[in-house]
C-alpha cells in the first residue's frame, strides 16, 4: 500500500507527517520509522508523526515515533507541524484555526495565527519529582537546583515535565558544551528511570535565553519546543528569567510565556512544509 507523507520542520526540528485519520493503528511501525528517519538511506527526520482520529472529544490524536523508534509522550515543535499538516489536509473545508489534539502527554491546543506562526497552549508544567519522573528528590517535592553528578562534574539541575520530561541546567556558555558526549550521559542517567531530555541554557538577558538540547530518542536537534517551555519555567523557578522570554535555539527563536493568570505555558513559533512524497 502506497503511503503519502509530507515533510515539515519547526526551526530545523524535522518530521515526516502521515495522514492516519482512517485508523487508530499507525500505518508505519517503529522499526520502519527508524529507516524512514535515516538521513542517508531514508527520507531523513527527527521523527515520524501520525494524525489519527480524535479521542475523548478531541479533534485528532497525535502519535510520534522518534528516529530511534521510541515513542515520546508528545513534541512541541512536532505539534506545530501537525497543526499545519492538518490545515493542509482539511483544505477549503477547514472552518477553524484552533485544534484540540489528544497526546500521550495530555490534550494540547495549537492555534494557527494569521502570520503563519502557530501558538500552542502547552498546559500546566508538572514540577514534582514523581511527575518527571526522577529520584533526585522525594516524589512529592520539586527538583530545583539539585546537584547531579554527570561525567565527573556536578551540575545544578531543575526538572520540569511539559508533556515529556526535561532536565535543565544553566551554564555560562552553551557553545562550549560538548553536547555529543555529555548528552547521552544525562539521557541514560540512573536518576531518570524513563530517560530524560536535557537542556543547557545560557542567560543573555532576563527576557532572552540561548539553548542547546539533547533529546531523548533523537540526540542533538536544532530545536525542541517542550524543552524551550521547560527552560523558561526552570528559569523562573531559579530566578534566572522573566515569565515571558525569547528562547534562541540553533534553528531559530521561540516565544515562550508562563502565564501568571492561568499558570499555563504558551509557545509560539513557525511550522514550515518542506515537500511531499509517497512511500
Q: Confidence class of residue 92 from pLDDT cuts 50, 70 and 90?
A: confident
Q: Confidence class of residue 137 from pLDDT cuts 50, 70 and 90?
A: very high
Burial class (CB in 10 A: 0-12, 13-18, 19+), 279: middle
Contact of 19 with 3, CB cutoff 8 Å: no
Backbone angles phi, psi at 69, to 5 degrees: 90, -10
Query: Is 75 noted as a catalytic residue in this protein?
Result: yes
- pLDDT surpassing 90 at residue 1: no
Query: Is 224 noted as a catalytic residue in this protein?
Result: yes
Kindly report whether the peptide bond that precedes residue 235 is cis, defined as omega within 30 degrees of 0: no
Average pLDDT over residues 177-191: 98
Among 37, 75, 159, 241, the active-site one is: 75
pLDDT digits (tens, 9 = 90+) for 95-124: 789 999 999 999 999 999 989 899 999 999
- Please state, as a whole number, how many other Cβ atoms lie within 10 Å of the Cβ of residue 90: 12
Closest CA to 67 of 36, 40, 27: 36
Cα of first residue to Cα of last residue in the chain, in angstroms, is 9
pTM metric for this prediction: 0.93
Among 37, 159, 167, 224, the active-site one is: 224
Going from the C-alpha of 225 to that of each of 9, 27, 161, 181, 213, the distances in angstroms are 12, 26, 12, 22, 10
Gap between the Cα atoms of 233 and 257, Å rounded: 9
How large a percentage of the chain has pLDDT more than 90? 96
Average pLDDT over residues 60-82: 97
- pLDDT surpassing 80 at residue 243: yes
Place of cell 544525562: 186
Amino acid at each position: 500500500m502506497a503511503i503519502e507523507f509530507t515533510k515539515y520542520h519547526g526551526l530545523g526540528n524535522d518530521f515526516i507527517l502521515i495522514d492516519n485519520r482512517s485508523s487508530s493503528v499507525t500505518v508505519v511501525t517503529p522499526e520502519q520509522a527508524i529507516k524512514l528517519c535515516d538521513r542517508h538511506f531514508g527520507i531523513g527526520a527527527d521523527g515520524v508523526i501520525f494524525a489519527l482520529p480524535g479521542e475523548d472529544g478531541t479533534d485528532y490524536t497525535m502519535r510520534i515515533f522518534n528516529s530511534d523508534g521510541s515513542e515520546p509522550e508528545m513534541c512541541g515543535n512536532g505539534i506545530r507541524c501537525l497543526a499545519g499538516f492538518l490545515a493542509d489536509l482539511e483544505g477549503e473545508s477547514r472552518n477553524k484555526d484552533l485544534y484540540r489534539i489528544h497526546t500521550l502527554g495530555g490534550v494540547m491546543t495549537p492555534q494557527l495565527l494569521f502570520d503563519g506562526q502557530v501558538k500552542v497552549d502547552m498546559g500546566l508544567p508538572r514540577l514534582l519529582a514523581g511527575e518527571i519522573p526522577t529520584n533526585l528528590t522525594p516524589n512529592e517535592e520539586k527538583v530545583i537546583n539539585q546537584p547531579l553528578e554527570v561525567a565527573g562534574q556536578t551540575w545544578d539541575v531543575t526538572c520540569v515535565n511539559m508533556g515529556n520530561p526535561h532536565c535543565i541546567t544553566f551554564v555560562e556558555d552553551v557553545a562550549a558544551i560538548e553536547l555529543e558526549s555529555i548528552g547521552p550521559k544525562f539521557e541514560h542517567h540512573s536518576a531518570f528511570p524513563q530517560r530524560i531530555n536535557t537542556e543547557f541554557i545560557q542567560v543573555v538577558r532576563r527576557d532572552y535565553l540561548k539553548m542547546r538540547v539533547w533529546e531523548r530518542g533523537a540526540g542533538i536537534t536544532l530545536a525542541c519546543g517542550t524543552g524551550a517551555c521547560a527552560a523558561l519555567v526552570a528559569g523562573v523557578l531559579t530566578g534566572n528569567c522573566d515569565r515571558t522570554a525569547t528562547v534562541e535555539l540553533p534553528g531559530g527563536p521561540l516565544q515562550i510565556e508562563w502565564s501568571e493568570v492561568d499558570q499555563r505555558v504558551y509557545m509560539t513559533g513557525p511550522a514550515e512544509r518542506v515537500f511531499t512524497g509517497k512511500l
